[in-house]
Structures are given as structure tokens and as C-alpha cells.
């Protein structure tokens, strides 16, 4: 008799609607992230849930009808708008790369340059399949990918060099808390700006905004 096959491991913990916020006493995903990392939540993150709520309120005010879900994928959390089909924000704790980069799967992902050209026409830019949470820091595929200006993603511009410096810091310091928030000026999934934040030594925020259009 053959050996029993183990069930495929799922990386989706649960999905809830972020607005309205959770009921009193319900554990937040932030608590879960730090429990998994076996360390307390830094004092600098005492108001993190309120910050996430503020992002959602700001996004809804500028967008209109939304249905924002909070998706927990082990060491990271994504805020995803099911109406516009795009990520509103992502945050997590830097961990070792979870699995090798799936290049064939990346190639099968929609060509972001086709969408950029269709939306922006003469203002189109060369784009990569950017990672909201860097692959080298444990970021996954699919929900984590978005159209990112190529020179920004690859560090070919002054802003790009700053962006890559922050990504390298996160990947080099396991356990650091960081977030990536795309900002939109239309109804597509192409961000006009990217806000990247890193909590350095659990004591000080390092936050930059980068132009993506």
C-alpha cells in the first residue's frame, strides 16, 4: 500500500472585512505576527491598528464603493479591495526567503506593460512585476505583485537607489517590521505613488514616498 500523501499546506489563515473593525477582544493580525516571531509588539506599534483603519478611511474617501478584506499569509498581511481588485496596503515581519522564486509562474503572470500602455498611452513607462513585500524578505507571489516603474524597482534612478537601499535593509535584518502602501489616482491597479516604511530597531520609523507614474 502506497504512502499516504500529505495534504497541501495552505498559507491563507483567514479573511475578514477590515471595515468595520473587529469586535472587542478579537486578536489582531499584528498580535499574531509577533506571537509567531516569539517577541512582544514594539511600543511604536501601539496604535498600528488605528493607522491601518486610517489608511482604509482615506482610501474609501478617495475611491467610493469598496470592499476591503484583510488577508493574513503567515508572516504578512494584505489589505485587498475586492471591488477594484487591488492592494490597499501590506505589512509584515521580514523573514528568510520562504521558497525559491518561481520564474515560470512569474512569466505566466499578466504582462504589466500591456496594462500600463493601455491605461497611460503616451505617458506609459516601462514596468516590472514589482513586489509589495520583497521576495528576499519572505514576500509571496500573486497578491503581492503590481506594476512598478522599472527604474524604481531596479535602482536605476536616484529614487530607485533609495528604494533598493530600504529593501536591502529589510532583507538583511530578519525580524524587522515594515510596510508598503500603494497610492492611486485612478481606478486601475497602477499606483501613482508608493509609501514604504521600516521600523528601525523597533524605535524609529524610516518612511519614504516614491513616484511610480
| In a domain? residue 9 | no
Q: Is residue 6 part of a domain?
A: no
Does 10 fall in a domain? no
Q: What pLDDT, in 10s, does the model give residues 31-75?
A: 988 988 889 999 999 999 999 999 999 999 999 889 899 888 878
Q: What is the number of structural domains in the chain? A: 1
| CA within 13 Å, CB half, 201 | 2
Q: Which of 190, 174, 173, 170 is nearest to 182 (CA)?
A: 190
Question: What pTM value is reported for the model?
Answer: 0.83
pLDDT at 27: 74
CATH number of domain containing 187: 3.40.570
- Which grid coordinates are listed for 169? 535593509
Pull the grid cell for residue 200: 528601525
CB 66 within 8 A of CB 86: no
**Predicted confidence (pLDDT) per residue in 149-195, tens digit:** 999 999 999 999 999 999 999 999 999 999 999 999 999 999 999 99
- Assess contact for 111 and 96: CB atoms under 8 A: no
Q: What is the pLDDT of residues 22-35, one digit of tens each?
A: 555 667 889 988 98
Domain that holds residue 69: 15-211
Amino acid at each position: 500500500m502506497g504512502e499516504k500523501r500529505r495534504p497541501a499546506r495552505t498559507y491563507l489563515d483567514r479573511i475578514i472585512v477590515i471595515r468595520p473593525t473587529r469586535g472587542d477582544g478579537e486578536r489582531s493580525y499584528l498580535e499574531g505576527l509577533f506571537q509567531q516571531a516569539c517577541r512582544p509588539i514594539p511600543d511604536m506599534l501601539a496604535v498600528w491598528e488605528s493607522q491601518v483603519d486610517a489608511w482604509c478611511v482615506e482610501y474609501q474617501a478617495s475611491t467610493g464603493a469598496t470592499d476591503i478584506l484583510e488577508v493574513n499569509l503567515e508572516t504578512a498581511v494584505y489589505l485587498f479591495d475586492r471591488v477594484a481588485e487591488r492592494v490597499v496596503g501590506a505589512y509584515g515581519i521580514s523573514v528568510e526567503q520562504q521558497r525559491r522564486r518561481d520564474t515560470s509562474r512569474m512569466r505566466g503572470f499578466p504582462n504589466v506593460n500591456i496594462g500600463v500602455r493601455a491605461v497611460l498611452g503616451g505617458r506609459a513607462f516601462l514596468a516590472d512585476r514589482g513586489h509589495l513585500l520583497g521576495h528576499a524578505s519572505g514576500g509571496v507571489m500573486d497578491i503581492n505583485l503590481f506594476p512598478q516603474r522599472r527604474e524604481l524597482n531596479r535602482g536605476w534612478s536616484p529614487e530607485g537607489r533609495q528604494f533598493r537601499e530600504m529593501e536591502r535593509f529589510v532583507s538583511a535584518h530578519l525580524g524587522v517590521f515594515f510596510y508598503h502602501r500603494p497610492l492611486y489616482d485612478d481606478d486601475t491597479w497602477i499606483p501613482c505613488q508608493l509609501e514604504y516604511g521600516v521600523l528601525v530597531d523597533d524605535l524609529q520609523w524610516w518612511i519614504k514616498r516614491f513616484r511610480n507614474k
